[in-house]
Structures are given as C-alpha cells and as structure tokens.
Amino acid sequence: MKTILITGISRGLGKELFELFVSKGYYVYGVLRNKFDAEKLKSELPDNGKIILTDLSTDKSINVIKEIVGESSIDLLINNAGIGGKSHLMEEIDSDEINDLFNIHCLGVFRTVKSLKINLLKANEPIVLNMNSRLGSITRQSNGTYEDITVSYSYRIAKAAQNMLTNCLRKEFNNEIKFLSLHPGKMKTDIAQVDADIEPKEIANRILKIFENGIFVEENGIVELEKEIIEW
C-alpha cells in the first residue's frame, strides 16, 4: 500500500484529495493547522488516515511531521497548503502580507520537503507535487496573458517563488525524487479568480487518475491539469 502526505486538508482541494486517497485505500497523512477541523476529521477517519496538526509557517512543523511519520516511506507528497492575498494594488498591501504568503506557499513547501526527505528517498519512485497556479508564471504575467485578472501582488510573488524552489529541489535531487510544479486549472476556491470553472472534487479525481496511471505529462517540470494539455 502506497503512502501519501497532503498538506492543507481543512477545505477545498486539500480536503477533497485527502478524503479521496483515503477512500481508495492508500495510507494518507493529512496536515492542517486548525485544531477544531483536526478533531472533526479525526472522529470520522478510517484506520488508513492520520491527521497531523501543525502550522507550516513555523520551523517547529519540521519536527512535528518527522515525529509522526517516523520511518514510513512516502510515495507521494502533495504540497497544497495556501492562503490568499488582498489586492493587486501596491498601496493596498503591506510587506507583512507578502511575508505571510511567501512563508506558507514557499517556505511551507520547503519545511515539508525537509521534514520528509528521508521518507521520500525510501520510496521506489517518490513524487512531490507542489500545487502552484497559472498566476505564478512570470512569463505569462509579463506577456499580458492575465492582464484582465486582478490577482494580488502577494499571491503572484509567493507562487513564483515556489516555482523557483521546485526547480532548485529538482536540480538537487535529480532522479532520486520527482519534483513537479502543478497548475490545477481554473479551480473554484475561496480565493479563486472570476473565471474559475472547475470544482476541487474534479481536480482531485484528475490527480488521483494520473498518479495511479503514471501519466504525469510535464514540460520543464510543470504539469497543467487543463483538458487541452492532458487528455482524460
């Protein structure tokens, strides 16, 4: 039985992924920081699911994850935890907000990978999926692809930084661990853009399908789950 770890499982895509992988019989660790949500999920979990209550915005989370996962190998890590920003106008945000988003979207990923390095290397073909966004693309931002979308400074900066982290990790671990930056498409979430049209449940099922079939299609380490990119 393969083992999965997913961060940010309180709601949205993270919750859908956690519940789906558990229902399919995988052993799944789910990371979240809200105590109330953690207790509720614990009361409903079958034996193949385990909750990790920790805050990925602090280095303390590294040891918390290490202690709970122990010596288990991790076949798939999905770094999904994230938060939204407020504005696309400089005058309406401050540096604290940018720091907060960078700390979760980029450093949160760094902390999770660092805590699970040994566990990932124990797996036969370990995969790390870093949930990114089309709005984290510097190229698309520069060429005006999203000029009509008023997404926050903080979110774009944090996701672009996460993309660089993914590239750094891919280079360091070469073929030992497969690191992918995954753009899930125009997904409906609490922080989604006005053109979002895909439910998180559908995205979760797509991710499960490509994981089970081993058909991650990537270009320069980026996976896009849009129908024109991957045929389902």
pLDDT tens across the length of the chain (232 residues):
899 999 999 988 999 999 999 999 999 999 999 999 999 888 889 999 999 999 999 999 999 999 999 999 999 999 999 988 776 665 667 888 889 999 999 999 999 999 999 999 999 999 999 998 766 666 666 665 556 666 777 888 899 999 999 999 999 998 899 998 888 766 655 554 445 557 888 889 989 988 887 655 455 544 554 433 332 2
What pLDDT does residue 221 have?
47
Q: In angstroms, rounded to a whole number, what is the distance separating the alpha carbons of residues 49 and 154? A: 33
Q: In what order do the strands lie in the sheet with 49-53?
A: 49-53, 27-32, 3-7, 76-79, 127-131, 178-183, 222-224
DSSP three-state, residue 218: coil
What pLDDT does residue 30 have?
98
Backbone angles phi, psi at 29, to 5 degrees: -95, 135
The 10 Å Cβ neighbour count of residue 143 is 10
What pLDDT does residue 90 have?
59
What pLDDT does residue 95 have?
85
What pLDDT does residue 187 have?
61
Amino acid of residue 164: M
Domain ranges of the chain: 3-224
What pLDDT does residue 74 have?
98
DSSP 7: E
DSSP three-state, residue 64: helix
Cα angle value 198/201/204 (rounded, 5°): 100
The 10 Å Cβ neighbour count of residue 49 is 21
What pLDDT does residue 1 have?
85
DSSP three-state, residue 158: helix
Q: In angstroms, rounded to a whole number, what is the distance separating the alpha carbons of residues 111 and 105? A: 11
What pLDDT does residue 231 have?
27
What pLDDT does residue 175 have?
83
The CATH superfamily of 3-224 is NAD(P)-binding Rossmann-like Domain (3.40.50.720)
What pLDDT does residue 181 have?
86
